[in-house]
Structure formats: C-alpha cells, structure tokens
Amino acid sequence: MSSIKIAVFASGHGSNCRALYEAIISGKLNAEIGLIVSNNPDAGVLTWAKEKELAHIHISSEQFDDKLQFHHALLRHLALHHIQMIVLAGYMKKIGLPLIEAYPNKILNIHPALLPSFGGKGMYGEHVHKAIIDYGAKITGVTVHLVDPEYDHGAIVMQKALEVSENDTPQTLAQRVLALEHQTYYRALQLFAENKVIIKDRKVFLSRNI
C-alpha cells in the first residue's frame, strides 16, 4: 500500500491535524506527517507538534520583505521534507499562486459546510454555523475540496451531511460538524494515498479498479 508524505498547515488548535495523526497511527490512513506549518507562533498545533516530535515551523509572510521571498522559503521547507501533498486544517491565510502551481491538485482543504453554500471570504469558524442557522437550512455538513486560487472553490473530493436541529446554536452545530470533519478528512486523503483520484474538467472522479 502506497503512503504519501503530507504537510499540514494550521493556524489554531489543530484538532483536524490531530485526527489525521490518529488515523495514521491506527492504520486507517497511509500517510506520514512530514511537516506542520503555522503562520501563528502561538498556535496550539505547534505545541502539540513539539510534544509529538513532529517537524514543524512557524513561517508567515510578515517575516519577509515580500510575498515572493516568503513563497520561496516555504517551498524550500516543503521540498526539504519531501512533501507530496499539502493539507489545510484551519489555516487562516489564503494560499498563494506559487504554492498552487508547485502543488497542482495536491492541496486539500476542509470546510465546515456543504459547498458551494456558506463558503467564501469571511465564512470561517462560527460565522459559517451562524449563517446556516440564520438562513434556516435544515442540512449542513463538511466538504473536502482541492484548493484553487478562489476561496472555497476548488473541485470537491468528499462531502458528508448532518441535520441541523431546531435547538442548535452556532456552538452546538460547530461541535457536531467538527466531529464529522475528524471522521471525513482522513477518508478523503486516503483516496489520494491509494491513487484513486482522477481529476477531469475540474471534477473529481474515483477510479474503482485500483
């Protein structure tokens, strides 16, 4: 069974990163976390990475004179660690073109709603769940998608749904959606590890004969 070396980009707590790590440890995901990248020096995910002795870096565009230098440095780190795919897990920065071009169809993101609804700029964290409740949507869920230059726009790899209850608050909904994210992200990534993903006309198809 093939395995992929991934970099996880996270800005905060990193519960999705931990869930991926658990999936790897328990043999459900054939991957290796080669590097954890954070733009936030105080991110919980960096403290956790240190505890687990996983390679990690704090790198942000603010440390460089311009975006070009930032991207060169970031790409150099990724190359040094032989990273094959980038997995965004609560990374609060827009991914720049140099990264998208260096990793074509190899950058994944997870969004806490069913795209293309409730996505785009400003739709993150509890804003998403509040918008869903305010709209009166009856179903929400999670979307794993490839990253392209537009926010929350790339080809959809996997979606899972759950019902919104009349008693839900943005907080209760956020909790249930996050738990579903933890059950979904590694499954989507495993499709790449198994080389099952075919991308045609900006759509993802799964090859069944592998």
Residues involved in catalysis? 111
Number of shown-chain residues binding ligand GRF (CB under 6 A) = 13
Beta pairing partners, 161: 141
Closer residue to ligand GRF (CB): 171 or 195: 171
Least distance in Å: CB of 203 to ligand GRF? 22
Out of 4, 7, 87, 89, the residue judged to bind ligand GRF by CB under 6 A: 89
- Contact indicator for 171, 133 with CB cutoff of 8 Å: no
How many whole angstroms separate alpha carbon 87 and alpha carbon 154?
14
Least distance in Å: CB of 120 to ligand GRF? 13
Least distance in Å: CB of 180 to ligand GRF? 10
Q: Which residues contact 38 (CB under 8 A, 6 or more apart)?
A: 9, 10, 11, 45, 46, 56, 57, 58, 59, 91
Which two structure tokens, joined as six digits, stand for 95?
């991914």
Beta pairing partners, 59: none
Closer residue to ligand GRF (CB): 47 or 69: 47
Residues that bind ligand GRF (CB under 6 A): 10, 12-16, 89-90, 110-112, 178, 181
